[in-house]
Amino acid sequence: MRGYETVIGLEVHVELDAGSKIFCGCRPQFGAPPNTIVCPVCLGLPGALPVLNRGAAEKGIAAALALGCRVNRVSAFDRKNYFYPDLPKGYQITQFFRPLAEDGSLCCTREDGTVFSVGIERIHLEEDAGKLVYDDEGRTLVDYNRCGVPLIEIVTRPDIRSGQDAACFVSALRRVLKEAGVSPCRMQMGELRVDVNLSVRKKDSQALNTRTEMKNLGSIKAVARAAQYEAERQIGVIEQGGSVLQQTLGWDEELQRNYIMRTKEDAQDYRYFPEPDLGPLVVEKEWIESVKRSLPETAAQRAERLKVQFDLREDTAQMLAEDEECTAYFEQVIASGANARMAANLITGELKRLCRQAGERPGSGRIPAAELAELTRMAGQKIITLSAAKGTVLEEMFASRAGAMEVAGRLGLIKTGQEEPLDDLIYRVLQENGDAVRKYVDGNKKTLGFLMGQLMRLSGGRIDPAEAQQRLIRQINREV
Amino acid sequence: MMEKDSALQLAAAIAAGKLTAVEAAKQAFERIKATAGLNAVLPGGEESALAGAERVQREIERRLSAGEELPPLAGVPIIIKDNICVRGFKATCASKMLQGWMPPYDASVVRRLREHLLVPLAKSNMDEFAMGALGENSAFGAIKNPLDIQRSAGGSSGGSAAAVAAGLTLLALGSDTGGSLRLPAAYCGITAVKPTYGVVSRYGLIAFASSLEQIGPMARSAGECAALLDVIRGRDERDATSRDMEEVCIKKDMRQVKIGLVRELMDMAQLSADMRRAVEHTAGLFRALGAQVKEISLPQVKDAARAYFIISSAEASSNLARFDGVRFGLRADSTQNAEELMLHSRSQGFGREVKKRILLGTYALSAGYYDKYYLRARQAAERLKAAVNAALEEVDVLLMPSAPGVAPLLGADADEAGVYEADVFTVPANLTGLPAVSFPCAEGENGLPLGAQLMGREGSERQLLACVQAFEDLSDGQGKTQ
């Protein structure tokens, strides 16, 4: 945008699927009647004390591992002090000075297949607050059911460069966290909430300028739109000679615009200090190892395994590993006897493209694994040409859901072994198109395309175009 | 009847059927009513107490007829400081803020009392939210010392100390954040234990300064304190800072015990002459019992009172944030919005001393001051802990005054800094987390008691109590006068 670059860092709150609240035994339940999932501890009654639920810590560790973070052997809890009716103790227990985990990253793939990586600065454990409810009589009520629900906050580095990429990161993050069993990440239920920190700068600048924070974006679309809107607003301010103010913003879904929640002047002093009621959280190696063993394979681990096991290119392996379904499909195709590289290329290339057009995913099974394997076998044994396999045959299989052999037969693409030899075909083409051959020899290389077209037509598509072109050129050169 | 009896003897009488737990409770209530002027015990809860006594009596009879053994304090009534939650009794922390608040649960120590068949009898008056050393900062009026009603019973567990000293009950529970068990024990001439941090669960203790405080027993002898401590001690899954503590080896023979006298504390300007003499006299008696006594230097104690004041106020500012009028306790009338509701409720509910400490603590944690105050106070506490632990490599216990002197007169216009400086003798045990026992060691002016304390290694409560027991045995033989 007019020589500007957007710089985005995210803070993502994720509700942990830990079975109970973080510091008491209450079992969170979405949609329960107000103030029924509470006890002296999460209500902050006088005298009640928090005790860390190890299950919550374990989910935090799982998230850290899935995002490639270093889990600190010793982390600790702190109090963030502020007054608000939904905060029963007058402070939130969080990890401010010593977070659970630090320094990870997440690799994301854009729609066009390009890849970018986002650094994870830290992951810390904390408790959720309650919820204000406004009734018909204009009263403000408080529901403490959500109080003490275990959360992790994931803080990224300012590595994201557009609202689209921010949305893409959140999708990737959701997938990884769901896979790792950390959380179902249902944004509509508040299980994943995103704050966007955004600033803009001149394209060649490395400066981090004054940023604004957009709080609590409730959908992936809102992340993309709010960021896009805010980037344009900030550029507009700068272009008009103004300067961006440090503000906290909210996103108005109806008006599709941001509104100001508070400015820097009323920034709170949270008076963080170590939580005296909880000891340090010590995570020994054995604990990390046991969490690791219980984790399903992550996309990155899958990619690495596929790469090594089937000798694939890195980017191909990554694309196959992107979702579990796709990996499983690829593995079924291999189990049905397919050539690994050819199958991988088909799935991540032509099949993926067809699927995208149809709004499906490669692993959805429209083409049975055995049939895709058959297609690679036919191409491998030169029963049909590779180009036919990747092109018309695959397209027709996808469209008609018919088998590889049937489609190839129907389209007449099966080599019978009694076709006119390729050299004879080339001879005929050269004979019938003397003018074009001369032009080619005189330096008009475009006519080669015309000659190839004639050759493919004569062969009925049963020849391999790459090989045919090579031999065609060789023959012309020989004749001249 | 029980002026001279111990709680263990009372339990034996109940076990022998000479008296029921209900009768013991009723007699205690008679005494409470007769001494209402002390303002030691808060009204209310009599029905719950008697119902509890009846349950206990039935259980005692069931066990006796089944031939089961009874716990050593079965049937004994106990008074509990008002910052500890007991089902069926209001828990007010002697504050308007919590006036009338009924906790829906028992503190873990109370659960243990009930399991051991003790009878929670009544709640004792205290300094509001345990902030105070004189028992004067109560929304329900000052506590009077039963030995001289013109004088302070000490604070903040003044009500519990006065109750035991007046013989209302033989046992009481108090809490100690910076001396709140030991100071009133000293002023009222009884014995109290501030346990090692973590030995007793804090679940259900309404927090003042979480990292410093412990619930502890009060009684008229070391033996009773030991029996009560055995009931309440031990890890509790509801308090993450509680733990089972291995008992450090006990030397019952005083000839094996090395005692250190802390020079800097003995040289404190605020220490009265008769208190100094009393501690020296106590050291002499221990020497007579065969103990080695040597002087120890701990210059770090000079920072202790200031460090304590910053840390405790900082934690209090956060711990007391939950009293906002939203969910329980006092709620201010006719406010326009949530902010006003919280502001006015807090302004009306808290007393002056509590407000002062909240403000101070808030300041000490504020951006830009955290490093300057809170962190430096923590560092001072760490230095003190290292020095005291090093000293406790050389000696087994440290002998120190519990207070500057005898109980001061109520309403004496003591300058505030001076009041806080009196904490210098007691706060080291809280800052280091180490156990300390205060016991009456001599009589001072007007025959009023003077208290000394023994502080020891982590988990050495029994050792400290064994020393006090040895001292009691000797001084009982000789009379307590100097």
Give the nearest chain B residue to A52 (CA atoms).
Answer: B240
Please answer whether residues A338 and A356 qualify as being in contact, where contact means their C-beta atoms are separated by less than 8 angstroms.
no
Q: What single DSSP character describes residue A337?
A: T
**Alpha-carbon gap, residue B114 to B121, rounded angstroms:** 11
pLDDT band, residue A422 (cuts 50/70/90): confident
Band (A268; pLDDT cuts 50, 70, 90) = confident
Distance of CA B69 to the CA centre of its chain: 30
In sequence order, the 6+-apart residues with CB closer than 8 A to the CB of B66 are none
Which pLDDT does position B140 carry in this prediction? 96
Region B321-332 average pLDDT: 95
Amino acid A213: pLDDT: 93
- The letter for the amino acid at A10 is L
> What is the pairing mode between strands B436-443 and B449-456?
antiparallel
Q: How confident is the model at residue A446 (pLDDT cuts 50, 70, 90)?
A: confident
At B449 the pLDDT is 97
Give the residue from A215, A218, A185 showing the smallest Cα distance to A198: A215
- Give the span between the Cα atoms of A222 and A167, in whole angstroms: 8
pLDDT tier at B180, thresholds 50, 70, 90: very high
Contacts of B239 in chain A (CB under 8 A): 49, 51, 277
Structure tokens at A104: 């990870």
B320 neighbourhood in chain A, CB within 8 Å: 90
Residues of B carrying an active site annotation: 81, 156, 180
Sign of CA dihedral A214, A219, A220, A225: negative
Give B 98-157 residues with CB within 8 A of chain A.
Answer: 98, 101, 103-105, 107
Collapsed DSSP state (helix, strand, coil) of residue A445: coil
Amino acid at B39: N
Eight-state DSSP code of residue B150: E
Which residue has 């710089």 as its token pair?
A7
Which helix (H) or strand (E) covers residue B381, if one does? helix B376-394
Q: Report how far residue B27's alpha carbon sits from residue B13's, in angstroms, rounded to the nearest whole number.
A: 14
Q: At residue B1, does pLDDT exceed 70? A: no
| Nearest by Cα to A53 from A71, A66, A41 | A41
Mean pLDDT of A321-340: 87
For residue B177, list chain A residues with Cβ-Cβ distance below 8 A.
none
* DSSP conformational letter for A196: E
Instruction: Please compute Rg for chain B using Cα positions.
Output: 21
Q: How far apart are CA A405 and CA A396, in angstroms?
A: 11
Express each pLDDT in B335-348 by its tens digit.
889 999 999 999 99
Inter-residue contact A338 to A367 (CB < 8 Å): no
Q: What span, in angstroms and rounded, lies between the C-alpha atoms of A360 and B204?
A: 57
Instruction: For residues B274 and A157, give the distance between their C-alpha atoms in angstroms, rounded to a whole number.
Output: 66
How confident is the model at residue B351, as a pLDDT? 96
What are the two backbone dihedrals, phi and then psi, of residue B405, each rounded to the nearest 5 degrees?
-175, -150
Contact B125, B339 (CB under 8 A): no
Question: Tens digits of per-residue pLDDT, A17-76?
Answer: 999 999 999 999 888 999 999 999 999 999 999 999 999 999 999 999 999 999 999 999
Distances, alpha carbon A318 to alpha carbons A164, A307, A327, B71, in Å: 21, 8, 10, 68
pLDDT (0 to 100) of residue B419: 62
pLDDT tens-digit readout, A89-112: 999 999 999 999 999 999 898 888
User: Is there a contact between A276 and B315 if contact means CB atoms under 8 Å apart?
Assistant: yes
Task: Give the phi and the psi of residue A180 in degrees, each rounded to 5.
Answer: -80, 0
Lowest-confidence range among A82-91, A298-307, B128-137, B445-454? A298-307
- For residue B174, the number of C-alpha atoms closer than 13 Å in the C-beta half-sphere is 38
| Size of the A and B interface in Cβ pairs below 8 Å | 106
Q: Nearest residue on chain B to A44, judged by CA atoms? A: B322
d(CA A288, nearest CA chain B) in Å: 22
User: What percentage of residues in chain B have a pLDDT greater than 70?
Assistant: 96
Q: CA-to-CA distance for A235 and B93, rounded, in angstroms?
A: 57
Distances (CA, A) of B236 to B104, B199, B204: 19, 9, 11
For B205, name the nearest residue in chain A, comparing CA atoms only: A47
Going by pLDDT thresholds of 50, 70 and 90, the confidence category of residue B278 is very high
Give residue A480's pLDDT: 64
Nearest to B91 among A46, A89, A273 (CB): A46
pLDDT score at A418 = 62
Q: Using pLDDT thresholds of 50, 70 and 90, give the confidence band for residue B417.
A: low
Nearest to A468 by CA among B144, A478, B175, A454: A454
Res A419 pLDDT > 60: yes
pLDDT in tens, B228-270: 999 999 999 999 999 998 877 788 899 999 999 999 999 998 8
Helix, strand, or coil (residue A120): strand
Least confident of A50-54, A104-108, A133-137, B4-8: B4-8
Q: Are B426 and B402 in contact (CB under 8 A)?
A: yes
Q: Which of B240, B322, B338 sits opposite A140 (nearest CB)?
A: B338
- Token representation of residue A379: 């191409």
pTM: 0.85
Is the pLDDT at A253 greater than 90, yes or no? no
CA distance A144 to A89: 12
Contact across the interface for A81 and B366, Cβ inside 8 Å: no
User: What is the pLDDT confidence band of residue B174, given thresholds at 50, 70 and 90?
Assistant: very high
Q: Are A80 and A304 in contact (CB under 8 A)?
A: no
d(CA A180, CA A81) in angstroms, rounded, equals 32
Tokens of A144: 């403490």
Residue B3 has pLDDT above 80, yes or no: no
Q: Do A269 and B366 count as a contact with CB atoms less than 8 A apart? A: yes
Confidence at A401, pLDDT banded by 50, 70, 90: confident
Q: Cis peptide leading into A205, omega within 30 of 0?
A: no
Candidates B319, B331, B335, B354, partner chain A, best to mutate (most A CBs within 10 A): B319
Average of per-residue pLDDT across A389-393: 87
Scan residues 176-205 of B and list those with Cβ closer than 8 Å to A.
202-205
Confidence of residue B413 (pLDDT cuts 50, 70, 90): low
Scanning every residue of chain B, which has its alpha carbon at the shortest distance from the alpha carbon of A79?
A: B318
CA dist A403 and A368 (Å) reads 9
Q: Enter the tokens of residue B316.
A: 């209090």
Q: How sure is the predictor about A1, in pLDDT bands with cuts at 50, 70 and 90?
A: low
Q: Are A63 and A123 in contact (CB under 8 A)?
A: yes
| Mean pLDDT lowest among A153-167, A224-238, A274-288, A428-442 | A428-442
* ipTM given for this complex: 0.95
**pLDDT band, very low/low/confident/very high, at B478 (cuts 50, 70, 90):** low
* Shortest CA gap B185–chain A (Å): 24
Overall average pLDDT of the B174-191 stretch: 98
Cβ-nearest to B327 among A43, A50, A279:
A43
What values do phi and psi take at A471, rounded to 5?
-70, -35
What letters, b where the CB count within 10 A reaches 16 and e where it falls short, cover A124-149?
bbbbbbbeeeeeeeeeeebbbbbbbb
Taking the C-alpha atoms of residue A296 and residue A293, their distance in angstroms, rounded to an integer, is 8
Cβ distance of B328 and A46 shorter than 8 Å: yes
Is B322's CB within 8 Å of A88's CB? yes
* Tokens matching residue B365: 């944690």
Does B362 lie at the interface with A, CB-CB under 8 angstroms? yes
Neighbours of B80 (CB within 10 A): 31
Q: What's the pLDDT tens digit per position in B151-163? A: 999 999 999 999 9
Asked if residue A421 has pLDDT above 80, the reply is no
Residue whose C-alpha is closest to residue B327's, from A83, A134, A53: A83
**pLDDT recorded at residue A366:** 84
Nearest CA in chain A to B319: A89
Q: In this structure, what token pair is assigned to residue B113?
A: 């009392």
B207 close to A (CB below 8 A): yes
Q: Average pLDDT, whole number, for chain A?
A: 90
Tokens found for residue A364:
């959805």
Contact list in A for residue B83 (CB cut-off 8 A) is: 47
Interval B212-233: pLDDT, tens: 999 999 999 999 999 999 999 9
Task: Round to whole Å and give the CA distance between A318 and B43.
Answer: 73
From the list A48, A51, A269, the residue facing B237 with the nearest CB is: A51
Q: DSSP secondary structure string, B436-460?
A: EEEEEEEE-GGG-EEEEEEEESTT-
Which of B371, B364, B358 is CA-nearest to residue B319?
Answer: B358
Of B83, B85, B318, the CB nearest to A91: B318
Among A11, A14, A122, A20, residue whose Cα is nearest residue A72: A122
A358 confidence band (pLDDT: 50, 70, 90): confident
What's the pLDDT band for B481 if we cut at 50, 70, 90?
Answer: very low
Residues in B touching A142 (Cβ below 8 Å) = 326
Given a cut of 90, whether residue B409 has pLDDT beyond it is: yes
Residue A272 contacts by C-beta under 8 Å, 6 or more apart in sequence?
A78, A79, A80, A81, A96, A97, B365, B370
Give residue B385's pLDDT: 97
Amino acid identity of residue B315, one-letter, is E
Task: Using alpha carbons, select from B342, B320, B319 the residue that is nearest to residue B331.
Answer: B342
Amino acid letter, A204: D
Pairing of strands B41-42, B119-124: antiparallel
Classify residue A209 as exposed, middle or buried by CB count within 10 Å of its CB (0-12, 13-18, 19+): middle
Q: Are the beta carbons of B186 and B194 closer than 8 angstroms?
A: no
* pLDDT at B480 > cutoff 60: no
Q: What is the DSSP letter of B232?
A: H
Considering only CA atoms, which of A290, A275, A274 is closest in space to residue A71? A290
- Predicted pLDDT at B415: 60
CB within 8 A of B416, min separation 6: which ones? none
Nearest-neighbour CA in chain B from A98: distance (Å): 16
* Apex A163 CA angle, A157 and A169, nearest 5: 55
Q: In this predicted structure, what is the pLDDT of residue B183?
A: 97
Work out the average pLDDT over A170-199. Answer: 94
Closest CA to B190 of B295, B304, B79: B79
Question: Residue B178 carries which DSSP code?
Answer: S
On chain A, the residues whose CB falls within 8 A of the CB of B322 are: 44, 46, 88-90
Structure token pair of residue A323: 């979702």
Mutant choice from A277, A278, A282 vs B, greatest count of B C-beta within 10 A = A277
Q: Is B359 on the interface with A (CB under 8 A)?
A: no
How far is it, in rounded angstroms, from Cα A380 to Cα A395?
18
Question: Is pLDDT of B414 > 80?
Answer: no
The distance of A281 to chain B (nearest Cα, Å) reads 11
Looking at per-residue pLDDT, the higher value among A476 and B426 belongs to: B426
Contacts of A266 in chain B (CB under 8 A): none
